[in-house]
Structure 1
Amino acid sequence: MSQIIYKIAPETLWREAEAKGSFTGAPIDIADGFIHFSTAAQARETAAKHFAGQSGLLLIAIDGARLGDALKYEVSRGGALFPHLYGVLELKNVLWVKPLPLGADGAHQFPVLEAE
């Protein structure tokens, strides 16, 4: 069974990861010591809280089941469990990458997301 989790990243940062073959994280991930992800239910709130008004973003879907023990669900804002990867994201675990454009209302326009 797949366990799909999501990463929001600036396109320039993600394209660098594609060139290298792996993603080591955004500056906040590197500072925190793990890569932050969101579940389908958390992705919109993450975009609104941490990426408000930002354009040039991508939404990356990852099969969390392939990440093994390096993926941990830990308590974060509001007591919710968020997926955190303690390691490098190998791009072979990426299911798809889609643009995350801003809509006329200033909110990010998400594709349909699969729940875990």
Structure 2
Amino acid sequence: MKVMIIEDSQDFRRKLENLLSDEYEVTSAVDGQEGLEKLRENKVDLVITDLNMPRLDGLSMLKKIKEEGLGYECPPIMMCTTEFDPQLKKQGKECGVSFWLVKPISELRFLKVIETLLT
């Protein structure tokens, strides 16, 4: 299974990579623009993205995916962010977010959500 992590915080991105790399093939991007480019080049089974990032934020990236497609069926999407505003969650759902997880995260809960999204 292939997982794409799109996260501008290097420390948090590495933490997620370390949590997942034993079980999954992990690819990373530092912002929404790089994530969008990599998603178009590589089919993945799950996307984990931050909301607030430079160049292209998470919701804008998801809107582009929804409008333009990826060339393959869009995988489940987990938004992993410090934001918990209900309006943002609603926008995320409209853009295809399957699960909204608020930072800081519980590693156990994070891994359980990943497992659920991939089954």
Query: TM over 0.5: same fold?
Result: no
Higher share in helix: 2
Pick 1 or 2: higher relative contact order, CA cutoff 8 A, min separation 6. Answer: 1
* TM-score normalised according to structure 1 size: 0.26
Q: Which has the higher strand share?
A: 1
